[in-house]
Amino acid sequence: MPVYQTTDLTAASFSVALFGLVATAILLLMGTTWVGRGFKLPVALCAIAALVGIGAAFEARGAWLAGQNVPVVYHYVGWSISMPLQIMALFFLAGTAGRLTAGLFWRLIVVSVLMVFVRYLGEANFMHPTLAFLIGLVFWLYILGELYFGRMDDAVRGSTSDSLRRGYFWLRLIVTVGWAIYPLGNFLTSFAGVADDGSLSVAYNLADILNRMAFGVAVLVTGALATEEKHHA
């Protein structure tokens, strides 16, 4: 049975991600009772994304302890589910400020799934790495375009809730800065010849603190503050 080594920072980072995601999921599930009706779904979606992250971190940690290596698929399985869930959470959060179309919803979901899937195909050498990287980058830029210049941004800017506008700003920033870690890792392994000796997994696990935990907590805080604003209006 594999055991931890004192200097095994990679295994420790998986544990940090695992325990942090457990705490985040519990907090978010409890938090669905602290927000108004319109914010319950975004908070619940973030809780589900955290639960998916728990499973992904647990499996990847087991793979690392067994062979000191984490196959790339372990990262992408979790991302392929949690990232579309977070985009859904952002969509429904913005939807509390104004009506959004079903077409926009499905475009965002399809693009977010394809963004992860195409990047995986390239990193697993099922597709030309350069082409896969560029297509995945285009999909990510499309999502950012919708968040910054699309109907979601228009709806939030027109909202009377300061808390919603501030929360949307920070959530959008996480998708911009935090999600940039994943294509950067893809670039390093595919083009810079960097082998994942555990350092890349550490970076991804630390990124979970921002991209899964902080993202979910930000949605919860936004919903709670916006609900309080509405009650005091």
Say what the pLDDT of residue 1 is: 44
Instruction: For residues 59-86, give the mean pLDDT.
Output: 89
pLDDT tens-digit map of 10-63: 889 999 999 999 999 999 999 999 999 999 999 999 999 999 999 999 999 988
CB 218 within 8 A of CB 172: no
Say what the pLDDT of residue 137 is: 94
Question: How big is the chain by its Cα radius of gyration, in Å?
Answer: 18
Between CA 86 and CA 188, with CA 200 as vertex, the angle to 5 degrees is 95
Q: Which helix H or strand E contains 105, and what residues bound it? A: helix 102-123
Which burial class, exposed, middle or buried, applies to 73 when counting CB atoms under 10 A from its CB (0-12, 13-18, 19+)?
middle
Rounded CA-CA distance 146/151 in Å is: 7
The total number of residues shown for the chain amounts to: 233
Domains of the chain listed by start with CATH number = 9-232 (1.20.1070.10)
pLDDT tens-digit map of 103-131: 999 999 999 999 999 999 998 889 998 99
Distances (CA, A) of 180 to 49, 136, 141, 144, 204: 18, 11, 10, 11, 11
CB 83 within 8 A of CB 51: no
Give the predicted TM-score (pTM) of the model: 0.92
pLDDT tens-digit map of 162-203: 999 999 999 999 999 999 999 888 888 777 666 667 788 899
| Alpha helices (H) in 32-101, listed in sequence order | 37-67, 72-95
Q: How many CA atoms lie within 13 A of 115 on its CB side?
A: 24
